[in-house]
């Protein structure tokens, strides 16, 4: 059964036992499991889609926003994309055993610093079934067992996908319990997972601020937050209008329900009146609801409808076709606004000034900062990681897309010939 009905503690203990085997598995065995996963996704695709259709038809899904329903929905194309992602991970170099440095200690052994798996990784995530595959692929290749706790909205989809992975692991001669899916359960189960000290080596919650706060109050295991993305596009006074319009529209519209979509647009006061109407009209033509501060609304007057932004809007991640607009007096004000209201995810400036670009990159505190490019590029697949578990918005031990190397730690290995320390 893909979804475990045992206790959280027993599930994590089973993952720990599997991790001891997987952690020393050969690259060939891990790649075989991934290649089998990609193949079985095609062979079992109809069953996965049937499970997904049942999730979408469940009354619990009725209250989901359009963006969340889009996250939940699978299609043959999305399953094929999952398989492509798994193959991409298989083609990447195995991080386990990678040598980071070496030296000979004075009068002592030869010392090497190498990458090793963390052990057991637990991931809590929202209604995106593809996360089940992405996370499992990355942890298998990096030698970690994984305990997955998905949303109840996607329980059937996740179970079907986890079954595919476990079948592939068995086919490759690796322990099936390297991938375990918990029943979504309630907050008590979440608290139990977050307190599995000595068993769970890293917990990664993927979700909004509510999930983050719920875990922060109880967690006793190490946590890496892949949290909200309140991302901004700042149009500097030296920006090209056509480029600024193209980037703002892509960052907001290309897929609005994901964490690297732009939620805020900042216009420099020197170009607000001349650039604003064109950018606003382009966004409105794509169905974006615009709200703004007083100066932005003045620019939008008689061009497109623009509602009034409340104080809380500047801190809100919409995950929908909605965007708040502010006019700022300078580059420094834009940086201050972003650092005050952003979540440290992805931020962008549009400018032809190298000095402004450098100041923005240096001043903005975020995991990813872009010059003349969309925030939508913050993605493990786009970064060549094959996939990602999420995007870390904190600074330790990793920041940005969480790929295989972010799922490893290091070990010093000393080899001598009888040396002792004097």
Cα 89 to chain centroid, rounded:
16
Give the mean model confidence (pLDDT) for residues 135-160. 96
Q: Tell me whether residue 384 is exposed, middle or buried, using C-beta atoms within 10 angstroms of its C-beta: 0 to 12, 13 to 18, 19 or more.
A: exposed
Query: pLDDT tens, 224-248?
Result: 988 789 999 999 999 999 999 999 9
* In contact, 232 and 338? CB cutoff 8 Å: yes
pLDDT, residue 2, reads: 59
Q: Which tokens sit at 88?
A: 């991409």
Q: Give the Cα-Cα-Cα angle 202, 208, 213 (nearest 5 degrees).
A: 65
* In contact, 292 and 325? CB cutoff 8 Å: yes
Indicate if the pLDDT at residue 3 is higher than 70: no
Q: Which residue has the tokens 């922060």?
A: 216
Indicate if the pLDDT at residue 381 is higher than 90: no
Indicate if the pLDDT at residue 1 is higher than 50: no
Give the mean model confidence (pLDDT) for residues 84-106. 96
From the candidate CATH numbers 3.30.9.10, 3.20.20.140, 3.40.605.10, 3.40.50.1110, the one assigned to the domain spanning 3-226+404-415 = 3.40.605.10
Indicate if the pLDDT at residue 304 is higher than 60: yes
Query: pLDDT tens, 35-57?
Result: 999 999 999 999 999 999 999 99
Q: Tell me whether residue 258 is exposed, middle or buried, using C-beta atoms within 10 angstroms of its C-beta: 0 to 12, 13 to 18, 19 or more.
A: middle
pLDDT, residue 399, reads: 92
Query: pLDDT tens, 167-189?
Result: 999 999 999 999 999 987 666 78
Q: What percent of the chain has pLDDT over 70?
A: 98
Please tell me the distance from the alpha carbon of residue 256 to that of residue 83, in angstroms, as a whole number: 24
DSSP string, 202-261: EEEEBS-HHHHHHHHTT--S-B--B----EEEEE-TT--HHHHHHHHHHHHHSSTTSTTS
Q: Which residue has the tokens 């999305």?
A: 78
Collapsed DSSP state (helix, strand, coil) of residue 420:
coil
- CATH superfamily name and code, 231-377: Aldehyde Dehydrogenase; Chain A, domain 2 (3.40.309.10)
Q: Where are the domains of the chain?
A: 3-226+404-415, 231-377
pTM: 0.88
| Phi and psi angles of residue 216, each rounded to the nearest 5 degrees, phi first | -60, -30
Indicate if the pLDDT at residue 211 is higher than 80: yes
pLDDT band at 63 (very low <50, low <70, confident <90, very high): confident
Closest CA to 379 of 388, 368, 369: 388
The more confidently predicted of residues 126 and 347 is 347
């Amino acid at each position: 059964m893909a979804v475990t009905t045992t206790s959280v503690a027993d599930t994590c203990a089973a993952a720990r036992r599997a991790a001891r085997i997987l952690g020393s598995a050969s690259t060939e065995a891990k790649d075989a499991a991934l290649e089998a996963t990609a193949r079985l996704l095609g062979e079992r695709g109809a069953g996965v889609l049937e499970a997904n259709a049942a999730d979408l038809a469940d009354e619990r899904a009725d209250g989901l926003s359009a963006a969340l329903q889009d996250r939940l929905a699978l299609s043959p194309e999305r399953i094929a994309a999952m398989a492509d992602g798994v193959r991409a991970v298989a083609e990447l170099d195995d991080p386990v055993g990678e040598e980071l440095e070496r030296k000979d200690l004075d009068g002592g052994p030869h010392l090497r610093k190498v990458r090793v798996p963390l052990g057991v990784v637990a991931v809590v995530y929202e209604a995106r079934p593809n996360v089940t595959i992405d996370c499992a692929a990355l942890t298998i290749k990096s030698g970690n067992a994984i305990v997955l706790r998905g949303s109840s909205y996607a329980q059937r989809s996740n179970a079907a996908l986890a079954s595919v992975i476990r079948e592939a692991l068995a086919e490759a001669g690796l322990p099936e319990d390297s991938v375990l899916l918990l029943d979504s359960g309630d907050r008590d189960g979440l608290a139990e997972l977050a307190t599995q000290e000595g068993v769970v080596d890293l917990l990664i919650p993927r979700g909004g601020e509510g999930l983050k706060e719920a875990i922060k109050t109880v967690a006793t295991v190490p946590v890496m937050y892949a949290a909200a993305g309140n991302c901004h596009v700042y149009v500097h006074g030296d920006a090209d209008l056509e480029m600024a319009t193209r980037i703002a529209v892509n960052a907001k519209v290309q897929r609005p329900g994901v964490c690297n979509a732009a939620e805020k647009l900042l216009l420099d006061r020197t170009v607000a009146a001349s650039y604003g109407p064109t950018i606003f009209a382009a966004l409105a033509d794509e169905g974006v609801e615009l709200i703004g501060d007083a100066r932005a609304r003045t620019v939008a007057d008689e061009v497109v409808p623009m509602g009034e932004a409340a104080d809380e809007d500047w801190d809100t991640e919409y995950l929908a076709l909605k965007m708040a607009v502010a006019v700022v007096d300078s580059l420094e004000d834009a940086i201050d606004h972003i650092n005050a209201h952003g979540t440290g995810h992805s931020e962008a400036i549009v400018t032809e000034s190298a000095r402004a670009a450098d100041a923005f990159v240096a001043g903005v505190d975020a995991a990813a900062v872009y010059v003349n490019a969309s925030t939508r590029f913050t993605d493990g697949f786009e970064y060549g990681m094959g996939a990602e578990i999420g995007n870390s918005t904190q600074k330790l031990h990793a920041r940005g897309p969480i790929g295989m190397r972010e799922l490893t730690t290091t070990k010093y290995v000393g080899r001598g010939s009888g040396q002792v320390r004097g």
